Structure formats: C-alpha cells, structure tokens
Amino acid sequence: MLLFQTPPPTRYDLNFTLAGFPVRVHPLFWLIAVLLGYSSGNILQILIWVVVVFVSILVHELGHALAFRRFGLSSQIVLHFAGGLTIPQSTLWGSRWANVALGPNQNIFISIAGPGAGFILAVLVIAVVILSGGSIITTRLLGFIPFPGFAVLPFGGDLLSLFVTSLLWVNIFWGFINLLPVFPLDGGNVARNVLLQVDPVDGVRKSLWVSVIAGAVIALLAFFFLRSLYMAVLFGFLAFQSYQSLTGRF
C-alpha cells in the first residue's frame, strides 16, 4: 500500500535507539502531527498534542517490535506522515541473510501487540491519576459506549490535564480504531490471518472484501455521527485501496 510504504531517509530525520530498536522519525511526521493539532490555535496545546502523538505512536510500534523480538526477529521503527511502521529485519543464516517465516497465529499476536501496548499505557496512566487523588470523567461515545472523557488532576493545572486526557484519547480510541478489520490496519491483518486459517485458498480475497465493507461503513459513521472528516476520508481511502487490490488495479 503506497500510503503505508516506508519513506526514504532524509538528512532531517531524527534517529535514536529505544530498547535496542533503531528508531527513525521522518520530518513529515512532525508536520502532520502539528496540522492535526492546529485547530486549537494555541501553541502550547499544539505542542502537547505533538508530544502525545509522538509518545503514543512510538509505544504502539514498540509493542510490535517487542512481539517480533519474542519470535526471534529484530526490527526497526519508522515514524512517518501516515503514522508508524515496525519493519522486521532479515536474520543471518550461515553466510546469507534469510527471512523468518511467521505463522498466522504469530502474525495475529504481533498485530495485536501494537494496540495492546497503547492500552497498557492508558491503564497505567489511569492508575496514576486515581492513585494521585485525581479522577477520570467518562463520556458516551456514539451515545452509548463509555469512554474516558477528561482527566481531572489535583496538580499540574489545565495543561497537564489536557496532556493526560489527550494521551488517554489517542491510546484508547485510536487503539480500538486500529483493531477494526480494515487493511492495512492491525485489525485488517488480524482478519486476514484468521481467514487464511479458515480458508487458505481464498482467505486473502475474503479479508479484502471485509476491509472494503468495514472501511465504507466506518467512513459513513465517522462522517455522519462522529462529524470527523479526517476519519471519513481515511477509511474511505482505505476501503478504496482494498477494492483496488481485489480488482488487481493497485
């Protein structure tokens, strides 16, 4: 998928190592993060949003990387304009480099590990808020789904509360969004590997149809109920990509 391909390195990349994994941050990552938070119009709030997005996506990709490591694969993390990627690296086999073949259940575990890492971070943040004497005010997503709406802290003022609230929102809400069966999101990869076990011959095609239908439905729900043009365009585009893959035009 072109949108989720690894961008080439630039001289402006930020490079560092986290838990033994090489991390590269493409400059467009920062630009898109700023644009997504620009609606507030407040410089401090924009900076808080950028930090939240950076930490959240990094934790998400670290979850994938640790899952790869569990199965003997090293990997590198790239943060770019469309989010992040964790790229497994070939292993040295004798005098040659070889790719380790993973089974469907291993691929499912790796896919779930990314959102799972975000959920663990959210639980830890909620625990810290409650243990410090604060509270989490819940709201209703789509009118019936309980969701952490706002964090109230006994210290740190509004900016810290905004930081914690944004951290919970990104890691919980986008964690669940990432598990929807739309390719190439983590949920799409899970659906593909489940269907491949049920139907090894036609599992990929069935997973693409699931992706087309789910992506289209989510795009409509995002536009009419969540009032999110960004989500509507994103899932509409992902559904279209899956349809192109089905028709062999991608």
The tens digit of pLDDT for each residue in 40-89 reads 678 899 999 999 999 999 999 999 999 999 998 999 999 998 789 999 88
Question: Does one domain contain both 53 and 118?
Answer: yes
Together in a domain, 17 and 139: yes
- Regions of the chain with pLDDT less than 50: 1-3, 92-98, 250
Residues 13 and 40 in one domain: yes
Dist. CA 67–CA 61, nearest whole Å: 10
Q: What is the pLDDT of residue 97?
A: 45
SS3 208: helix
> Of 150, 179, 208, which marks where a domain is finished?
179
134-146 residue pLDDT tens = 888 887 776 666 7
Asked whether residue 25 falls in the same domain as residue 83, the answer is: yes
Is the same domain home to 208 and 173?
no
Q: Nearest CA to 68 among 102, 26, 39?
A: 102
Among 28, 61, 87, which Cα is nearest to 178's?
A: 61
Looking at the structure, do residues 62 and 140 belong to the same domain, yes or no?
A: yes
How far apart, in whole angstroms, are the C-alpha atoms of residue 221 and residue 74?
Answer: 38
Structure tokens at 144: 């019936």
What is the count of structural domains for the chain? 2
**One-letter-per-residue 3-state SS of 27-79:** HHHHHHHHHHHHHHCCHHHHHHHHHHHHHHHHHHHHHHHHHHHHCCCCEEEEE
How far is it, in rounded angstroms, from Cα 56 to Cα 64? 13
Shared domain check, 152 and 231: no
Token representation of residue 28: 């467009």
197 shares a domain with 171: no
174 and 187 in a common domain: no
At residue 140, the pLDDT reads 74
**How far is residue 247's CA from residue 212's CA, in Å, rounded to a whole number?**
12
Q: Are residues 170 and 213 in the same domain?
A: no
**What is the residue range of 235's domain?**
180-250
Residues forming a β-bridge with 78: 24, 85
Chain-centre distance for alpha carbon 150:
21
